[in-house]
Amino acid sequence: MSVTDPRHRLAESPRYLIYHTHETAHLYIKGSRRADVVIGGFCGDPQTACIAPDESYCVVAGSGLVLYFLQAPFADYAYGQTSANWREWGRTPTDIYWIEAVYSPEPATAIRFVVDPLDEVRQGVYELNTADFTVEKLL
């Protein structure tokens, strides 16, 4: 798979490109000699991603979401582990939120995402505060 393959691209900004290979999301740092960074693993392919307007973080979503802070050391993601580089939400195996769309309004202090409209319990639009990681259902 090449990062130039448009079928696997999820999001792009001036400095970063997010793409996926099967169930794994990767971050390509443009102009860097560093190997691509694994930024998420999902049950099924990731569905959507976005990069904050100020490029301070990115989000990859599908079976839940992974908020990945775009800062050194750019550690590779590992499911169920904690790191200063990422946080997870809605990914507990018995309570998965199936996310179909995600975006980051300006300023880059929140993430909005859409949960599967066929999920009668969780469907709706949510907002996640990137500072304290609280989630509020908006609709």
CATH of 6-137, one of 3.30.410.10, 2.130.10.10, 3.40.630.40, 3.30.390.50: 2.130.10.10
pTM: 0.92
Region of residue 124 (left: phi > 0; alpha: psi -120 to 50; beta: else): left
* CA dist., res. 98 & res. 117, Å (int): 9
Query: What is the rounded average pLDDT for all residues in the chain?
Result: 93
For the chain, what are the domain ranges? 6-137
pLDDT in tens, 96-120: 999 999 998 877 799 999 999 999 9
Sort residue 55 into left (φ over 0), alpha (ψ -120 to 50) or beta.
left
Residue 36: name the closest of 13, 3, 78 by CA: 3
pLDDT for 24-66, tens place per residue?
999 999 999 988 999 999 999 999 999 999 999 999 999 999 9
